[in-house]
């Protein structure tokens, strides 16, 4: 089978590998659509482990079922998780499934930028398979994982009805956060970005107000928000400048959600008294999502409550995966880039 092998952001090669063999309790998935995630181009995080076959936002159909599996059948349309929690450790029991060691060790074989993927037995057993409703395309189903992560982030941040939400960074995660905040009852959503193209997208997908990052100031936020800052600030970029803006934009009693990864070895410095003392500000983070959040995300997409179809701006066959990576790395006039491994 053909696979897209990652050596660097500028070097993704199409190579031939044997199609994975399916063992007991496993599934072989024919990948019909695979989204490129922003973390796929986080080169510093991956460069010491290359070559890699990336791709974790996938949808496809089952082409082979391993011995002992009766609940799944050949031809069934599914999305699936590359990571699954054990459900039994201390962290899982405390509701922090994303820091479960099992979750961090599980994965696809080899990765979504390939014609076929073997889903290990543990992924199947631990509810990492999500049958698709008939009305959903494979392309739309690739948003299951990123939306599940957004759901988790807003849940951990304690979003409430009537809050003002500031989304810093209007890439795919930011746009999903904008929509999800509205579904969760936010009264006002403000978005920022450095790229005009993405600000237009933010407005299209529900932001009440948008600001170019270079022109944004907390005073402008206060002016359009009845003299208050944001109850919830969601950082969908790890740029130091953006983090500084977040610190100055959170209201008393508010929360800052660190949703995106920052640069390698990036540190945070702030005046503890100025931010926390008497202000009850919370800093929190989120990573990945649980099987339950994947199912909830799939339901929201299937019901049309979260619009994803129009977020897809580019589609490439597997042989042009490098072109897709170039677009995502540049982060300019693209939103969601989909690889179609069967083409």
Q: Where are the alpha helices (DSSP H) in the chain?
A: 43-46, 90-93, 101-105, 121-125, 138-141, 144-156, 172-183, 196-204, 218-224, 240-249, 272-275, 291-302, 321-330
Residue extents of the structural domains in the chain: 2-148+288-340, 158-285
Confidence band, pLDDT 50/70/90 cuts, at residue 265 = confident
The hierarchical CATH code for the domain 158-285 is 3.40.50.720
Nearest residue to 173 via CA among 145, 213, 139 = 145
pLDDT in tens, 178-234: 999 999 999 999 999 999 999 999 999 999 999 999 999 999 999 999 999 999 999
> How far apart, in whole angstroms, are the C-alpha atoms of residue 209 and residue 236?
17
> How far apart, in whole angstroms, are the C-alpha atoms of residue 327 and residue 333?
8
**Tokens matching residue 278:** 């008497």
pLDDT in tens, 49-99: 999 999 999 999 999 999 999 999 999 999 999 999 999 999 999 999 999
> How far apart, in whole angstroms, are the C-alpha atoms of residue 322 and residue 12?
5
DSSP codes, 12-28: EEEEE-PPPPP-TT-EE
Using omega within 30 degrees of 0 as the cis cutoff, is the peptide bond preceding 298 cis? no
Nearest residue to 37 via CA among 51, 14, 57 = 57
Residue 264: other Cβ atoms inside 10 A: 10
Using omega within 30 degrees of 0 as the cis cutoff, is the peptide bond preceding 51 cis? yes
pLDDT in tens, 95-123: 999 999 999 999 999 999 999 999 999 99
Give the per-residue pLDDT at 275: 83
Question: Left, alpha or beta for 340 (phi > 0: left; psi -120 to 50: alpha)?
Answer: beta
pLDDT in tens, 134-156: 999 999 999 999 999 999 999 99
323 touches 316 (CB < 8 A): yes
251 touches 230 (CB < 8 A): yes
Nearest residue to 54 via CA among 117, 128, 105, 100 = 117
**Tokens matching residue 2:** 């053909």
Residue 308 to residues 79, 136, 246: CA-CA distances in angstroms?
15, 11, 27
251 touches 231 (CB < 8 A): yes
Give the per-residue pLDDT at 268: 85
SS3 138: helix
pLDDT in tens, 172-193: 999 999 999 999 999 999 999 9
DSSP codes, 276-315: TTTT--EEEE--S--HHHHHHHHHHHHTTSS--GGGEEEE
10 Å CB burial of residue 222 (0-12, 13-18, 19+) is: middle
Report the first-to-last Cα separation within the chain, whole angstroms.
12
**CATH superfamily of the domain spanning 2-148+288-340:** Medium-chain alcohol dehydrogenases, catalytic domain (3.90.180.10)
């Amino acid at each position: 089978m053909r696979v897209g092998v990652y050596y660097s952001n500028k070097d993704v090669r199409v190579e031939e590998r044997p199609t994975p063999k399916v063992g007991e309790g496993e599934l072989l998935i024919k990948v019909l659509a695979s989204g490129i995630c922003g973390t796929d181009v986080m080169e510093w995080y991956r460069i010491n482990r290359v070559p890699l076959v990336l791709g974790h936002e996938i949808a496809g159909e089952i082409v082979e079922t391993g011995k002992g599996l009766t609940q799944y059948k050949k031809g069934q349309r599914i999305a699936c998780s590359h990571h699954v929690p054990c459900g039994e450790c201390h962290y899982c029991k405390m509701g922090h499934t994303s820091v479960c060691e099992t979750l961090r060790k599980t994965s696809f074989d080899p990765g979504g930028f390939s014609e076929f993927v073997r889903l290990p037995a543990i992924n199947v057993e631990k509810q990492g398979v999500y049958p698709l409703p008939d009305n959903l395309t494979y392309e739309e189903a690739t948003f299951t994982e990123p939306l599940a992560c957004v759901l988790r982030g807003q849940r951990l941040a304690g979003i409430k009805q009537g809050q003002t939400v500031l989304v810093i960074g209007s890439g795919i995660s930011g746009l999903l956060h904008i929509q999800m905040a509205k579904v969760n009852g936010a009264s006002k959503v403000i978005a920022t970005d450095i790229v005009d193209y993405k600000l237009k997208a933010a407005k299209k997908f529900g932001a009440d107000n948008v600001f170019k990052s270079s022109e944004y100031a907390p005073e402008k936020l206060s002016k359009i928000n009845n003299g208050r800052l944001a109850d919830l600030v969601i950082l969908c970029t790890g740029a130091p400048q953006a983090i500084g803006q977040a610190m100055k934009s959170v209201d008393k009693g508010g929360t800052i959600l660190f949703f995106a990864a920052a640069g390698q070895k990036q540190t945070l410095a702030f005046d503890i008294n100025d931010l926390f003392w008497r202000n009850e500000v919370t800093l929190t983070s989120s990573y990945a999502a649980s099987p339950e959040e994947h199912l909830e995300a799939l339901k929201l997409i299937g019901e049309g409550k979260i619009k994803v179809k129009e977020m897809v701006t580019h589609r490439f066959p597997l042989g042009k995966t490098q072109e897709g990576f170039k677009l995502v790395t540049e982060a300019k006039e693209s939103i969601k880039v989909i690889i179609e491994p069967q083409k």
